[in-house]
Amino acid sequence: MEIAKILWPTDFSSNAGAALDFVQSLAEKHHAEVHVLYVIEDMGGHAPWYGEFQAGHAQDIRQWEEKKARERLDEICARHLAGCPLFVKHVAVGDPATEILKLAEKEKVSLVVMSTSGSRGAFAFGSVTDKVVRNSPVPVTTIPVLR
């Protein structure tokens, strides 16, 4: 199997970071591009938490989160992926599993590498990893998270 592009989705948790060494090793061995993805969950469908809730508030929060996400991705790529021939940073808004699958198809990645659980922990049903594994058009390697 030729590995030209690797997709590593992250939620910036230590659990997601457990896959980073494996991603880096594969990328160096296969001279592969690494696509790093962070997904901002869409808040559009949430009811107001307190007081008046306007669309502008959600947009301001999303812009702030996107700015912070890009800063974190820059830091991760500089610190951990500098040995990779090429890394590409992506930020998306929506359902994490859906956005991972969309990017895998759009970028024609060879492999998705992700941990078995992210910041939400491990759930028997409905986890992001489970949805990706079941629906991915390309192989998915999961890295177990030790508790």
111 contacts 3 by C-beta, under 8 angstroms? yes
Assess contact for 84 and 111: CB atoms under 8 A.
no
Say if pTM beats, i.e. exceeds, 0.85: no
What domains are there in the chain, each with its CATH number?
A: 5-143 (3.40.50.620)
pLDDT in tens, 26-70: 998 999 999 999 999 876 655 555 555 566 777 788 889 899 999
Crossing angle (nearest 10°) for helices 20-30 and 55-80: 60
| pLDDT tens-digit map of 125-140 | 348 899 999 999 999 9
